[in-house]
Structure 1
Amino acid sequence: MKGRVTLATVASSAGVSVATVSKVLNGRSDVSRETRARVQEVLQKHGYVGRRPEPVTRATVELFYQGVLNSYSVEVIQGVIEAGSAAGVDVVVSSHPHSKHARGNSRAAGWIREMIAADRRAVIGITSDLTDADLAALSRARVPLVVVDPVDIPQPDVTSVGSTNFAGGMAATQHLLGLGHRRIAYLGGPPTSGCNQARVSGFRNAMDAAGVPVPHEYVWLREFLYDDGLAGGAALLDLPDRPSAIFAGSDEVALGAMEAARARGLRVPEDLSVVGFDDTQVARLASPPLTTVKQPLREMGAVALRTALQLAAGEKVDSHHVELATTLIIRESATAPSRLFSVAAS
């Protein structure tokens, strides 16, 4: 048969009404089994293609991450995507929110125009360093923003999600102190990072409470990546009085420090104890498995998504900053210091 097959064509071939064919196509139950089978046979025979259904419009949320994707960010992104799926919301992931070549208000305005044109319900940023112009543009456009672990200390009216970094820093340090270590170094992320500042503060608080001084060179700050742990670990382990333990601000940094130790013929944990932060997959795959402070990273992403939707719906949130609890996970990368360090500390 030439030309487009219509409902009338199918109805005529099957010996039924157009209404009956429509009922079969829509899955209605008020059609006999025999009639349904006959209509379906004719539909298949003629290769009937109905009208394209109207597209289903789903709410979308923009999720952006600035910097190199790592084990930490992948866990948070997974949490956002899973929560979005459960809420019936599409999550669009981008590496950064706007062109790095633009500057100031024009950059922010261009980004917001893109958000409005794409009908984004809200924006979620991971460790983002948004400018005042970005924040002002989002506010003017009334596009809700939720930031996970902001690089800078968030403004009071910027909603953010993090973890109990101070408590986690204390727990990691107290664990090493409890094992008998006194030469404990901190190897962490950017000095301006809010979560890093909290972890350093927890580290120093635990050391002060134990009456153990921290030499200036025992605190080494750069980024939260493997290469930074490798460089920082090398710097710490090449000191004349090298540490017996390193508390790393992320699991990737911890693995870098472990590799720096291996390259110097040092064993973990016999010659150097290492504790990380995050409890990403790399912590479980490390050799030896890494003792670390667990952040509920996927739950942080899920909370960020749910909070963003609350704000988009005009609902009030209980707090502009949510902190989820951290937990120390003890594995095999930390043990009591060797006799050499025990004698030196006595």
Structure 2
Amino acid sequence: MHDEDETGGGRVTLARVAKEAGVSMPTVSKVLNGRTDVSRATRAKVVRLLDVHGYRRRAQPSSRSPLIDIVFHELESIWAMELIRGVENVAKENRATVVLTESGTRHTPAPEWLPGLLRRRPLGVVLVCSSLPGDIKRRLRAAAIPFAVIDPAGDADPDVPSVGSANWAGGLAATRHLTGLGDRRVAIITGPKVQRGFAHAMELLEGPERPTAVFAGSDLQALGVLEAARVKGLRVPEDLSVVGYDDVPPGQWSSPPLTMVHQPLRHMAEEAARMLLRPDDPGTAAQRIELATQLVVRQSTARLEDEGAAADR
């Protein structure tokens, strides 16, 4: 075990961690290298102490694999494919290979993918998730593996490099577009699932005050709204205006083509991947990049002719 090159005191730091954790130096090494033959409780104790002592393994370029990992909570959508293409663009520029991992249908990544990643020692990891648990952050930092998060929910942790888009501005642009068309009963559906978009839209369209417009949180949900409108015998946009979010190809090819808030998914992934390749740049140590969104008006929205029409639309 070669720990002379580690920061935070080298052998002294690891020896102190081993002593305080009540384990051997080889056990600490196993934790650092992602070995699975360490109990969860012992691993958590060692990781916590490494973080307390400010331990950071010094990255050695020769020991890093020419890989960029990208971790999703699910891989079933074209939305995911756009992000993969962005990471691949940067990987090709740097003669690296992309490794894909699906960590389960959750917005916080499960830790099961970590041991394999620590053994691979990639150039870095892009995480597509809403939030990143502290334990995962500490383990990646202790192993000197750069990471960046794409599209975190709410305000990103200030110590986590992240790339997002101007979601609030995009939502405002969509809402202003609809109210400018005369709509006052605008419904909002959130989430990525087509099926849930359909179910929620059916519920909304069967209500006593049917909305005149629906703003869906993704293109896939907007497609579900289109299907619900068809089932209910409503015309889009004559009876119901529909706006989607993301602007991936299926929404552009729908009938009618969807008005959408364009989120630059591929560009977001490219920026996140580039963060990994310059981890020693002080300006990217804990940087938040927010890219602009843009409303793209197509044929799924139309002007509400008059207030009386709202009862029929």
**TM-score, structure 1 length as denominator?**
0.66
What does 1:5-20 align with in structure 2 at a 5 Å threshold? none
Aligned residues: 246
What does 1:1-346 align with in structure 2 at a 5 Å threshold? 59-96=66-103, 108=111, 111-151=113-153, 153-188=155-190, 223-311=191-279, 314-318=280-284, 320-337=287-304, 339=306, 342=309, 344=311
Contact 2:173 2:295 in 1 (8 A): yes
Shift, 1:64, TM fit: 1.2
Distance of aligned partners of 1:69 and 1:129 in 2 relative to their CA distance in 1, 3 Å threshold: farther
Shift, 1:111, TM fit: 4.3
Equivalent-residue separation in structure 2 for 1:248 and 1:111 (angstroms): 32
Distance of aligned partners of 1:245 and 1:341 in 2 relative to their CA distance in 1, 3 Å threshold: farther
Equivalent-residue separation in structure 2 for 1:258 and 1:301 (angstroms): 29
Contact 1:186 1:249 in 2 (8 A): yes
Contact 2:262 2:293 in 1 (8 A): yes
Distance of aligned partners of 1:272 and 1:341 in 2 relative to their CA distance in 1, 3 Å threshold: farther
Deviations 1:67-122 (A, max 9, x none): 2421211111111111211222211111129xx9xxx9xx84x6444223212111
Shift, 1:160, TM fit: 0.9
Deviates more, 1:258-267 or 1:319-328: 319-328
| Amino acid paired to 2:83 | V
Equivalent-residue separation in structure 2 for 1:259 and 1:336 (angstroms): 21
Contact 2:222 2:243 in 1 (8 A): yes
**Rg larger in 1 or in 2?**
1
Distance of aligned partners of 1:117 and 1:270 in 2 relative to their CA distance in 1, 3 Å threshold: same
**Percent of aligned positions with the same letter in both sequences?**
38
Contact 2:65 2:123 in 1 (8 A): no
Q: Secondary structure at the match of 1:310?
A: coil
Q: Secondary structure at the match of 1:69?
A: coil
**RMSD (CA atoms):** 2.5
Contact 2:65 2:122 in 1 (8 A): no
| Amino acid paired to 1:93 | L
Contact 1:271 1:338 in 2 (8 A): no
Distance of aligned partners of 1:65 and 1:260 in 2 relative to their CA distance in 1, 3 Å threshold: same
Q: Which runs of 5+ in 2 are unaligned?
A: 1-63
Contact 1:278 1:293 in 2 (8 A): yes
Q: Which runs of 5+ in 1 are unaligned?
A: 1-56, 189-222
Equivalent-residue separation in structure 2 for 1:343 and 1:280 (angstroms): 30
Contact 2:258 2:298 in 1 (8 A): yes
**TM-score, structure 2 length as denominator?**
0.73
Deviates more, 1:72-81 or 1:120-129: 120-129
Shift, 1:341, TM fit: 5.0
| Amino acid paired to 2:152 | P
